[in-house]
């Protein structure tokens, strides 16, 4: 095969209390990457084309993940990666993770490598390390495995996709509010220590959220999609967060959380949610404080191998 | 009705990472309490009979819970409580919680009060406050609701019983190893603050354990029934814990944990577990270090209203 293509979906990490361990993939957005063997010799082995930004493969997670894969698998061919960038970058929607995941999946197909999903996560993480300075697998795990994932270990990589209730879908509010170097700043705000009370509080949220998502119990999701530790510390960066979450809850979303490191806010919705109310009120509120927004409804997405 | 009876089962709180929030009720042991209206006037309103120890109602959780209930419900009758104490006290098996739960449930029936389970937990907790110095609802919640419970809030009381897989049953190793004032000492060992790394580690355990118990996935239970915070801090009190847990895991228990504040150790078992191997090796090991033990197999138990 001279070229191969892969899709990877956007994702929401943390889901409230699950810092670095929980994430879901949603079909709100996706990246599509086509990998092909170049007929000319490329210095370094990788060339990026299309909507990738930046196009320097050493500053792009798709490129970094590809480098890591080629090096570890000892592939000497030169590769062209054509990137159809669908996931907006800088909004907490797992954009860098989706690019890395699509890149690894496309190259895996091109050379018929049969990489395990764990290996795909490992290679894809190379890009995440570069973009945040800290190894975290949550977004790439969601994009590669699809669905709702628990990152059980990052060294070695161990991820579990857990089936959740089909009752739930998602609404994502994407405020046009970008903070330069957000991912690093957001990481820096994470407290180094937490009180035992906050531990117990957050542990309870995790138990409620996990069991609520699995069993389809919206009240448990409502109670559990909260965070006294990481979201609490990051909230000052996003002064509109509390108000938008209140709008979602008032319109009977099952739950709402900061998507990853923000600024996007994701709501878990079901048939009892007034989705139109959320759309209208959230957009109006954000506009009233001078912030434009996009609002996207989505469902749980598959992984890179199930598209 | 002149007399009424209730049963409450033993329980295991914490289940590894779930300090103060997770517990299960098991039919390893139970207390049975018969409440009857006394034909003589009892000073203070409550008299204990039978195997209660101590028989002073102000120093017994069955008595303390009964006082709280009578006072709040403005009941003026004098009550005799006959206690058939089945749950051994001081072994981390929710003995004080079971006595309080059975007492409240029996009086509820006697007067046909129709108390909600939340109210029953609230009254029963009066005894737990007295015995540990800290309000915690995990054991009483398990004894009253039955099954696997998440304590969502203690003020006001909010508890959720969550259905778990029927694949699992339990083995409890009860070492004859008692520490004077254990509950208070064990509470004092709980660290006041934890690092963010330990938070993330334990949050992951909670997500794994909860989803594993619900879905019947023994590997998730295996990964999740661990605790880097509370169990870790209490382990020095129980020098045999690590070895007994290793024996359980080697014989393919799905998971193993300290039962509440110990010294008992509970294993989650299924058809793949060598239960006879655990019985034999754990008893032999404990004997080799001079500790006699009892070992009990049990299943998930119902609550006080489903017996």
Residue A229 distance to chain B (closest CA, Å): 9
pLDDT at residue A307 tops 50? no
pLDDT bracket for residue B41 (50, 70, 90): confident
Q: Report how far Cα B164 is from the mean position of its chain's Cα atoms.
A: 17
Cis-peptide into A303, omega within 30 deg:
no
pLDDT at residue B6 tops 60? yes
CATH number of A114's domain: 3.30.230.10
Q: Are residues A90 and A42 part of one domain?
A: yes
Q: Is residue B132 part of a domain?
A: yes
Residues of B in Cβ contact (< 8 Å) with A192: 195-196
Q: Are residues B84 and B197 part of one domain?
A: no
A163 to chain B: closest CA residue: B215
Q: Are residues B194 and B98 part of one domain?
A: no
Q: Rounded distance, CA B189 to CA B181, Å? A: 13
Q: Which residues numbered 42-61 in A keep a CB inside 8 Å of some CB on B?
A: none
Q: Domain count of chain B?
A: 2
Q: Which string of DSSP letters, residue by residue, matches chain B?
A: --EEEEEEEEEEEETTTEEEEEEEEEEEEEEEEEEEE-SSPPTTSEEEEES-SS--GGGSHHHHHHHHHHHHTT--S-EEEEEE--SPTTSSS-HHHHHHHHHHHHHHHHTT----HHHHHHHHHHHHHHHHSS---HHHHHHHHBSEEEEEEETTEEEEEE---TT-EEEEEEES---TTHHHHHHHTS-SEEEHHHHHHHHHHHHHHHHHHHHT-HHHHHHHS--SSHHHHHGGG-TTHHHHHHHHHHTT-SEEEE-TTSS-EEEEE-TTS-HHHHHHHHHHHHHHTT--EEEEEE-B-B-TT--
B102: which 2 tokens?
């059975």
What pLDDT score was predicted for residue B145?
98
Q: Is residue A257 part of a domain?
A: yes
Q: Are residues B181 and B151 part of one domain?
A: no
Q: Rounded distance, CA B282 to CA B249, Å? A: 11
Q: Rounded distance, CA B269 to CA B280, Å? A: 15
Asked if A168 is an interface residue toward chain B (Cβ–Cβ < 8 A), one would say: no
How far are the Cα atoms of A11, A60, A100, B275 from residue A33, in angstroms, in the given order?
A: 17, 13, 10, 52
Domain boundary among A110, A141, A162: A162
What pLDDT score was predicted for residue A57?
78
Q: Is residue A122 part of a domain?
A: yes
Q: Is residue B196 part of a domain?
A: yes
pLDDT digits (tens, 9 = 90+) for A219-256: 999 999 999 999 999 999 999 999 999 999 999 999 99
Q: Are residues A192 and A155 part of one domain?
A: no
Q: Is residue A307 part of a domain?
A: no
Asked if B204 is an interface residue toward chain A (Cβ–Cβ < 8 A), one would say: yes
pLDDT digits (tens, 9 = 90+) for A150-165: 999 998 999 999 999 9
Question: Helix or strand or coil: residue A294?
Answer: strand
What pLDDT score was predicted for residue B44?
82
Q: Are residues A145 and A27 part of one domain?
A: yes
What count of other Cβ atoms lies within 10 Å of the Cβ of residue B105? 29
Size of interface A-B (CB pairs under 8 A): 102
Of B302, B287, B212, B215, the residue nearest B257 (C-alpha): B212
CA angle B211, B217, B222 (to 5 degrees): 85
pLDDT digits (tens, 9 = 90+) for B179-216: 888 888 888 899 999 999 999 999 999 999 999 999 99
pLDDT digits (tens, 9 = 90+) for A67-110: 999 999 999 999 999 999 999 999 999 999 999 999 999 999 99
Q: Are residues A157 and A175 part of one domain?
A: no
Q: Are residues A146 and A206 part of one domain?
A: no
Determine if residue B50 is left, alpha or beta; phi over 0 gives left, psi from -120 to 50 gives alpha, anything else beta: left
A1: which 2 tokens?
């095969």
What pLDDT score was predicted for residue A287?
97
- Residue B220 and residue A160: Cβ atoms within 8 Å? yes
pLDDT bracket for residue B256 (50, 70, 90): very high
Q: Rounded distance, CA A184 to CA B297, Å? A: 51
Report the percent of chain B where pLDDT is more than 90.
84
What pLDDT score was predicted for residue A1?
60
How far are the Cα atoms of B42, B76, B218 from residue B222, in angstroms, in the given order?
A: 52, 51, 6
Q: Exposed, middle or buried, B265 (CB in 10 Å: 0-12/13-18/19+)? A: buried
Residues of A in Cβ contact (< 8 Å) with B204: 21, 150-152
Asked if B180 is an interface residue toward chain A (Cβ–Cβ < 8 A), one would say: no
What pLDDT score was predicted for residue A44?
82
pLDDT at residue B306 tops 70? no
The residue that leads in pLDDT, B186 or A148, is A148
Q: Which residues numbered 78-107 in B keep a CB inside 8 Å of some CB on A?
A: none
pLDDT at residue A20 tops 90? yes
Q: Are residues B224 and B208 part of one domain?
A: yes
- Residue A150 and residue B207: Cβ atoms within 8 Å? yes
Average pLDDT, chain A: 93
Residues of A in Cβ contact (< 8 Å) with B163: 215
Q: Are residues A178 and A154 part of one domain?
A: no
What pLDDT score was predicted for residue B105?
97
Q: Is residue A304 part of a domain?
A: no
Rg of chain A in Å (alpha carbons):
19
Q: Is residue B306 part of a domain?
A: no
pLDDT digits (tens, 9 = 90+) for B83-104: 999 999 999 999 999 999 999 9
What pLDDT score was predicted for residue A52?
62
What's the pTM? 0.93
Domain that holds residue A239: 169-298
Domain boundary among B133, B162, B191: B162
Instruction: Report the residue of B207, B216, B231 to disrupt the A interface, i.e. the one with the largest count of A CBs within 10 Å.
Output: B207
Residue B148 distance to chain A (closest CA, Å): 12
What pLDDT score was predicted for residue A181?
86
What pLDDT score was predicted for residue B307?
43
**Rounded average pLDDT over B112-125:** 95
Residues of A in Cβ contact (< 8 Å) with B190: 196
The residue that leads in pLDDT, B272 or B188, is B272
Q: Are residues B157 and B17 part of one domain?
A: yes
- A193-197, B90-94, B125-129, B141-145: which has the minimum mean pLDDT? B125-129
Catalytic choice (A61, A183, A210, A304): A183
Q: Are residues A157 and A8 part of one domain?
A: yes
pLDDT digits (tens, 9 = 90+) for A119-136: 999 999 987 777 766 778
CATH number of B225's domain: 3.30.70.890
Of B85, B95, B80, the residue nearest B260 (C-alpha): B95
- A266-270, B49-53, B60-64, B72-76: which has the minimum mean pLDDT? B49-53
Domain boundary among A162, A192, A227: A162
- Residue B257 has φ and ψ, to the nearest 5°, of -155, 165
**Mean pLDDT: which of A26-35, A36-45, B52-61, B131-140 is highest?**
A26-35
What pLDDT score was predicted for residue B183?
82
Query: Does this complex have an ipTM over 0.85?
Result: yes
Report the percent of chain B where pLDDT is more than 70.
97
pLDDT at residue B305 tops 80? no
Q: Is residue B192 part of a domain?
A: yes
Longest dimension (CA), chain B: 61
């Amino acid at each position: 095969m001279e070229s191969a293509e892969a899709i990877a979906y956007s994702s929401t990490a943390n889901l409230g209390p699950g810092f670095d361990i929980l994430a879901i993939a949603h079909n709100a957005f996706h990246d599509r990457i086509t990998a092909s063997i170049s007929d000319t010799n490329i210095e370094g082995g990788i060339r990026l084309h299309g909507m990738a930004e930046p196009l320097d493969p050493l500053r792009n997670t798709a490129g970094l993940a590809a480098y890591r894969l080629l090096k570890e698998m000892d592939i000497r061919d030169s590769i062209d990666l054509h990137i159809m960038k669908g996931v907006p970058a800088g909004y907490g929607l797992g954009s860098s993770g989706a690019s890395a995941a699509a890149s690894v999946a496309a190259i895996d197909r091109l050379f018929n490598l049969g990489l395990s999903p764990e290996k795909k996560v490992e290679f894809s993480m190379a890009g995440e390390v570069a973009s945040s300075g800290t190894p975290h697998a949550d977004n790439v795990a969601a994009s590669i495995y699809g669905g709702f994932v628990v990152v059980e270990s990052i060294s070695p990589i161990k991820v579990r996709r857990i089936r959740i209730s089909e009752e739930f879908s998602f609404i994502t509010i994407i405020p046009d509010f970008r903070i330069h170097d957000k991912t690093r700043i957001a990481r820096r705000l994470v407290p180094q220590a937490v009180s035992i009370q906050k531990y117990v509080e957050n542990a309870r949220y995790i138990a409620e959220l996990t069991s609520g998502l699995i069993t389809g119990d919206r009240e448990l999701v409502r109670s559990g999609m909260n965070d006294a530790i990481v979201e609490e510390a990051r909230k000052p960066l996003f002064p509109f967060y509390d108000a938008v979450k209140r709008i979602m809850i008032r319109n009977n979303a099952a739950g709402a959380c900061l998507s990853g490191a923000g600024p996007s806010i994701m709501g878990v919705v079901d048939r009892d949610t007034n989705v139109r109310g959320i759309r209208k009120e959230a957009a109006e509120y954000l506009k009233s404080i001078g912030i434009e927004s996009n609002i996207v409804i989505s469902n749980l997405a598959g992984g890179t191998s199930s598209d």
